[in-house]
Chain A
């Protein structure tokens, strides 16, 4: 008999730090700050991503994310979004660290403006330098096993292959490669980008990965708060299904009820 009090899942351990939620969420593109805060709270996420940008000196200060999200409530993961070279990404990472919250960085080096797909060469180069400088690097990358292995080799605390392009909402287009990356890496694997709805989050987690990172799926939903609840459950459902181990699939039907004892 199974112990009803056993924990269903352990924590997500990233860079020596434990998180209860396996969902990481972004803070961009919401229609308003209150709906962003409400959605993030509903998602149960403890780690949130933020971007580094110039202060707009001609406008209100409302765009400063820390006016709305407390770093005491959420663990801030600054990103290098918008960077197209390793040099730029390193500059943004150093600026983010100088803000004084932590030494973590979501590393993105983009290689193509139209698809926002990563430049894996630039990503590796920046990852190597930032890891040497003591950053805890979570690297956004393609669903390419060899790049993922190299990112682990240079010391990234997590490798984050995309499900599909950023903001596309297409879901996991290549579950096989996500599984292969997870199977071969020792560091946590987080599926980052491309998740559009709750079933996508569940499918991502069913591949065995350690977590999912999303932004647009919540921000661009008709009701971001409801979708945040859905994503929380989607991630949990996929995780528990993975841990439980699914039944074998087959292409013939097998009755669930006994074939004996039927009436004449």
Chain B
């Protein structure tokens, strides 16, 4: 991996798996990159639930643990 790569991508733990994402992404950017509608998703960043109105302001940092959850069928 060359110097440019390490500057442009970061590694986070996303829904239980290591994942390389672009550096300097907000939570909103991350959801958009995954083609997820923010209104349908709840985001937990390092075990803290993020308010939806902060998605634009909060940046994802190297080593962050991100959980993206939603409602599925259940009893």
How many A-B contacts at CB < 8 Å in the complex? 95
Contact of A36 among B36, B52, B71, B73 (CB under 8 A): B73
What separation, in Å, do the CA atoms of A65 and B70 have in the docked complex? 8
Q: Contact between B70 and A53 (Cβ–Cβ < 8 Å)?
A: yes
Closest chain B CB from A161 CB (angstroms): 15
Interface size on A, residues (CB 8 A): 37
Residues in A with CB closer than 8 Å to B23 are none
Asked if B14 is an interface residue, CB under 8 A from chain A, the answer is: yes
- Chain A: interface secondary structure? mixed
Residues in B with CB closer than 8 Å to A215 are 74-75
Interface size on B, residues (CB 8 A): 23
Mark the stretch among B1-9, B38-46, B55-63 that contacts chain A: B38-46
Asked if A123 is an interface residue, CB under 8 A from chain B, the answer is: no
What separation, in Å, do the CA atoms of A49 and B75 have in the docked complex? 6
Mark the stretch among A73-81, A202-210, A234-242, A247-255 that contacts chain B: A73-81
Q: Contact between A63 and B73 (Cβ–Cβ < 8 Å)?
A: yes
Q: A54-B15, A57-B14, A66-B40 are in contact. Are A98 and B49 (CB under 8 A)?
A: yes
Q: Contact between B34 and A63 (Cβ–Cβ < 8 Å)?
A: no
Q: Contact between B42 and A98 (Cβ–Cβ < 8 Å)?
A: yes
Residues in B with CB closer than 8 Å to A29 are 73, 75
Q: Contact between A55 and B69 (Cβ–Cβ < 8 Å)?
A: yes
Q: Contact between A100 and B52 (Cβ–Cβ < 8 Å)?
A: yes
Given A53-B74, A56-B15, list of 12 further CB < 8 A pairs? A27-B74, A30-B73, A50-B72, A50-B73, A52-B70, A52-B71, A53-B70, A53-B71, A65-B70, A65-B71, A213-B75, A214-B75
Report which B residues bind A (CB closer than 8 A). 14-16, 34-36, 40-42, 44, 47, 49, 51-52, 67-75
Can you name 16 A-B residue pairings with CB atoms under 8 Å? A27-B73, A36-B73, A51-B72, A53-B70, A55-B15, A57-B15, A61-B36, A64-B40, A64-B72, A65-B72, A66-B40, A66-B71, A79-B75, A94-B49, A95-B42, A96-B71
